[in-house]
A and B are shown apart, each in its own frame.
Chain A
Amino acid sequence: MKLTTRYEQTSCRLIVEGLPDLSAGQDSSTIGILTGFTMGLAGQTELEGKREHLQALLTAVIPYARHLLSGVPKAFGEADAPVAIAPGDGCHQLELRSSQPNTPPLTLRLDDAELADLVRCLDQLRLDARLALPFEAPPLVPLARKELRHRQPLLRRIAAPLAGVAAFAISAALIAMLPTPKPAPQTAPELAPPAKGG
């Protein structure tokens, strides 16, 4: 019996079809084998694909959203992957490469709202308990300092160390200008006059 699950947001509709994997002891309402999915995106396209395409979509879009949330947009998706996403000029460029020969890749320009819709649909998909499919999404971990480096402009980033070095150099120069103190002239120790009388 074919099972269908829908995830909907304003500009994104994802319909997943599959069958329960009864041999693995799953109950009849759990999708254990994915037979295909369709996705309507940004009112422009109706996409169809198999599990590996859905996996590629997750692998590209979820880390992209993660980096965007930290304010460091970064392109995701290998050159040979079916899905790639990169920051564009005021938009997000989602590139879908068909596995069929002689089909040029399709590039969709998503605005911030459409990207958020897509991310929410994919979030619902990966957290859905009715799907017993181990989708591999890269772990959501804090970014290292070097990955965040270009979040602040160079001048603001180096301002503090630069000010520190300058302050050190100026104070060193000022101190160097002070005359070296001369050693005090050596004088013979004076003895106290001998006590008189007795």
Chain B
Amino acid sequence: MAQAPASVQTPLSRRGIERLDLMLLCAEALDLNGGEAMVWLSEEMGFTDLFPNRVELWKRRCTNPLRRNTRRASLKPEETDALIRILTALSERLYPMLRTLLSSAEPPDLNAQRWDLFRSRLRELVLERLNPRRGGVQRLLDPQEGPALSRELVQSMALCAGEGGFERLRASLLDAAV
């Protein structure tokens, strides 16, 4: 696997970490084995030095401020880069599913069922792991705003799938916070 190119190492903003962890959560909602796949990919891609075991990987993800048990530690740029690489690899694996969800050529009622299933799994994961008092989490669970936000997350995953998506997603997560 290609390593991250040497560039200006800027840590991710709070918003960037929130979005990265939400997209990883989406990968888990799309694939029931997503959590295992993440650990396996991390080993496969040679990130054992950064995340020696699943608990360490989990702890890094818990720096998301939207988590129920959020950790105050800040992530190093190489750790976030590794998480982004894992996400792009997961998106590549899940790409056929992401594409089906986004396609307008699929039968509408069948696709509506797929979206319902995805959203219900995402909702379960969000309720289990994220803090429902945070505005960002409430918006995600909101019946009005939620569907558009989950579609945005799926579209982002489709656009960052594969090796070419790494730089794009990294740049996007480093956007100036609004």
A and B part of one assembly: yes
Judge if A170 is at the interface, Cβ distance under 8 Å.
Answer: no
Instruction: Determine if A69 and B159 form an interchain contact, defined as CB atoms under 8 angstroms apart.
Output: yes
0/1 string, B131-160, CB within 8 A of A gives 1: 000000000000000000000100110111
Chain A proximity of B28: nearest CB distance (Å): 20
Binds A, one of B35-43, B48-56, B98-106: B98-106
Judge if A27 is at the interface, Cβ distance under 8 Å.
Answer: no
Known A-B contacts A65-B159, A126-B164; the reply to A117 vs B178 at CB < 8 A is: no
A144 to B172, CA, bound (A): 10
Binds B, one of A99-107, A108-116, A184-192: A108-116
A-B contact count (CB 8 A): 85
Count of A interface residues, CB-CB < 8 Å? 31
Known A-B contacts A66-B172, A70-B175; the reply to A127 vs B164 at CB < 8 A is: yes
A149 to B174, CA, bound (A): 15
Give the one of B95, B156, B178 with max A CB within 10 A: B178
> In the complex, which range does the number of interface residues on chain B fall in?
20 to 34
CB-CB contacts below 8 Å: B29-82 with A: none
0/1 string, B87-115, CB within 8 A of A gives 1: 00000000110111011110000000000
Judge if A123 is at the interface, Cβ distance under 8 Å.
Answer: yes
Instruction: Determine if A69 and B168 form an interchain contact, defined as CB atoms under 8 angstroms apart.
Output: yes
CB-CB contacts below 8 Å: A62-119 with B: 65-66, 68-71, 111-114, 116-117, 119
A119 to B99, CA, bound (A): 12
A122 to B168, CA, bound (A): 13
Judge if A2 is at the interface, Cβ distance under 8 Å.
Answer: no
> B105 — which chain A residues lie within 8 A by C-beta?
111, 113
A43: nearest chain-B partner, CB-CB: B105
A70 to B100, CA, bound (A): 22
A70 to B167, CA, bound (A): 13
**Binding site secondary structure of chain B:** helix
Judge if B117 is at the interface, Cβ distance under 8 Å.
Answer: no
> A127 — which chain B residues lie within 8 A by C-beta?
163-164
Known A-B contacts A113-B103, A113-B104, A116-B98; the reply to A152 vs B178 at CB < 8 A is: yes
B161: nearest chain-A partner, CB-CB: A120
> A70 — which chain B residues lie within 8 A by C-beta?
172, 175
A69 to B165, CA, bound (A): 10
B16: nearest chain-A partner, CB-CB: A142
Chain B proximity of A110: nearest CB distance (Å): 10
Judge if B4 is at the interface, Cβ distance under 8 Å.
Answer: no
> A1 — which chain B residues lie within 8 A by C-beta?
none
Instruction: Determine if A124 and B102 form an interchain contact, defined as CB atoms under 8 angstroms apart.
Output: no
Known A-B contacts A112-B158, A116-B159, A119-B159; the reply to A148 vs B164 at CB < 8 A is: no
B96: nearest chain-A partner, CB-CB: A10
> B159 — which chain A residues lie within 8 A by C-beta?
65, 68-69, 116, 119
Q: Which residues of B contact A (CB under 8 A)?
A: 95-96, 98-100, 102-105, 152, 155-156, 158-165, 167-172, 174-178
Top 8 nearest A-B pairs (CB, nearest first) are: A123-B164, A113-B103, A142-B174, A112-B102, A145-B176, A116-B158, A111-B104, A113-B102
